Amino acid sequence: MKDEAIKLADRFVSEEDGMGVVEIILIIVVLISLVIIFKSQITSLVNSIMSSIKKDAESVYGK
């Protein structure tokens, strides 16, 4: 009986099935936090890039 408890405890400690899920959730939380912190900078960067693309496209199509 004591050996079974020790084996069960060893198996519980060495089991790492849930570790991948926890790591993915932590990465997602960090990415969301960064987006929230730098939202205005990201928005202005995207707007600048889109404006540049529009200007270049207009020069190609001659509008």
30/54 Cα distance (integer angstroms):
32
Q: Which residue has the higher pLDDT, 61 or 25?
A: 25
pLDDT number for residue 16? 63
Where does 1-63 have alpha helices with state H? Answer: 2-14, 19-37, 39-61
Q: Cβ distance 61 to 55 under 8 Å?
A: no
- Please write the tens of the pLDDT for every residue from 1-57: 778 878 887 777 676 666 677 888 999 999 999 999 999 999 999 999 999 999 999
Query: DSSP state, 7?
Result: H
Give residue 46's pLDDT: 96
Cα separation of the two ends of the chain: 84
pLDDT for the residue numbered 27? 95
Nearest to 37 by CA among 26, 29, 47, 25: 29
